[in-house]
Chains A and B, each alone.
Chain A
Amino acid sequence: MRRTSIHKAQKSKTPWRYAFYVLVALLLGILFSYRTYRSASAQQPAPTPSDNQVNQIAHQLYCPVCANTPLDVCPTDACRQWRDLIRQQLSQGWTETQIKQYFVQQYGVRVLAEPPQTGFDWLIYVLPPVIILIGAFILFRALRMWTKPAPAGGGDGGEGNAAKDEYVARLEEELQKRN
């Protein structure tokens, strides 16, 4: 199909424009749904502490004694006592933060399901993104290097020989594969 060079220049912009529109549409969609979602989920807590309210806080804590068991799930007597303690504190008007702080003070920071974002434990949140970004950087460097066009053939004898040797090596490998 013949095209004039002008048309070709214009056509080559089109896929990018499409991609741009799609991306904008997606972002708008996400923002819109985010706003409607947030407004729906703001609710008032019930006045008396129900099992669900206790569980909601207990879910963010781990049993101090059993291994790796969240507090809302743990079936032992001790855990039942801790859940009753949470219920009592809720009925006294303690906030979630206060309750969690109390548990940390009593039983150590390992009782939280997530390390706090302060002090040394800040490292757990920072390191993965850093390492992933480093990995992405290495990847793009490698891709850039690999997609560089090959140097023009000929040149001096040394370069030509290098290419020939590489070619010979590849040929040998292919033969070995087939054999």
Chain B
Amino acid sequence: MTEGTSSTPRRGVRLWVQLIIWVSLVGMLVIVAIELNRSQQGQVARGDRISNFTMPLFSGFELNGQNQFNLADYRGKVVMINFWASWCKPCEQEAADMEQAWQFYKDDGRVVFIGADYVDTEPEARAYLAKFSITYPNGPDLGTRVSQLFRIKGVPETYFIDPQGILQYAQIGPFSSVDEIKSIINPLLK
């Protein structure tokens, strides 16, 4: 295009239009980047501080008479949270071992076992608990809030929090024996 004698100005895209374009473009990219990053994150890892959460408990499965589990109340104790579901076949492999480990630790007073029922229906959950004679506190993970906090990718997954509120161990998949569970909890009690 010839310049000089032309009186029509060479008008590019106006500045405020460019601003809108770039801001929305970058904004969209940033949002996708953040979500991509979040989806790439694995489960909570060793050394992460677990923020406080509450979870309701099934009636008949209360903890110290409370029908709500509040993580902050149990600072100073070792807390084990096990995510399971009645429709999850691998969960059944470790269910008996879990209960056995609980029987071992429940009188100690320094260890708390919590079962979080992930995306399940109450009748089936109770049937599962009865089938394996589970007695430690259990409750539904309402709205999947707790499992989202731990960013679990499936069930069963088990998380061990030390008395200072830091995650020390994450078990993805079922445990193979009671000894395995004990080998994780015992070091935390020291």
Contact = CB atoms under 8 A, between A and B. Distances in A.
Interface string B118-132: 011101100000000
A76 B144 contact: no
B65 interface: no
B6 A107 contact: no
Interface stretch (A33-41, A77-85, A142-150): A77-85
B5 A81 contact: no
Contacts of A64: 119, 144
Interface in B105-153: 119-121, 123-124, 140, 142-145
A154 B40 CA distance: 66
Contacts of B145: 108
A161 B8 CA distance: 9
Interface of B is mostly: loop
B7 interface: yes
A77 B1 contact: no
A162 B7 contact: yes
A161 B120 CA distance: 78
A105 interface: yes
A158 B7 contact: yes
A109 B148 CA distance: 13
B121 A107 contact: no
B143 A162 contact: no
Contact of B2 (A106, A108, A109, A168): A168
B85 interface: yes
B156 to A, nearest CB: 14
A51 interface: no
B121 A82 contact: yes
Contacts of A161: 5-7
B87 interface: yes
Contact of B142 (A105, A158, A159): A105
A161 B7 CA distance: 8
A81 B7 contact: no
B6 A81 contact: no
B5 A106 contact: no
A166 interface: yes
Contacts of A169: 1-2
A106 B143 contact: yes
Contact of B1 (A65, A76, A105, A165): A165
A65 B5 CA distance: 69
Contact of A166 (B8, B85, B86, B144): B8
B1 A107 contact: no
B119 A107 contact: yes
B13 to A, nearest CB: 13
B144 A108 contact: yes
22 contacts: A64-B144, A65-B87, A65-B119, A78-B87, A81-B86, A85-B121, A104-B143, A105-B142, A106-B119, A106-B142, A107-B119, A107-B143, A108-B143, A109-B143, A158-B7, A161-B5, A161-B6, A162-B8, A165-B2, A165-B5, A165-B8, A166-B8
Interface of B: 1-2, 5-8, 85-87, 119-121, 123-124, 140, 142-145
Interface of A: 64-65, 76-78, 81-82, 85, 104-109, 158-159, 161-162, 165-166, 168-169
Given A165-B1, A165-B6, A169-B2, 9 more contacts: A65-B87, A78-B87, A85-B123, A105-B142, A106-B142, A108-B143, A108-B144, A108-B145, A161-B7
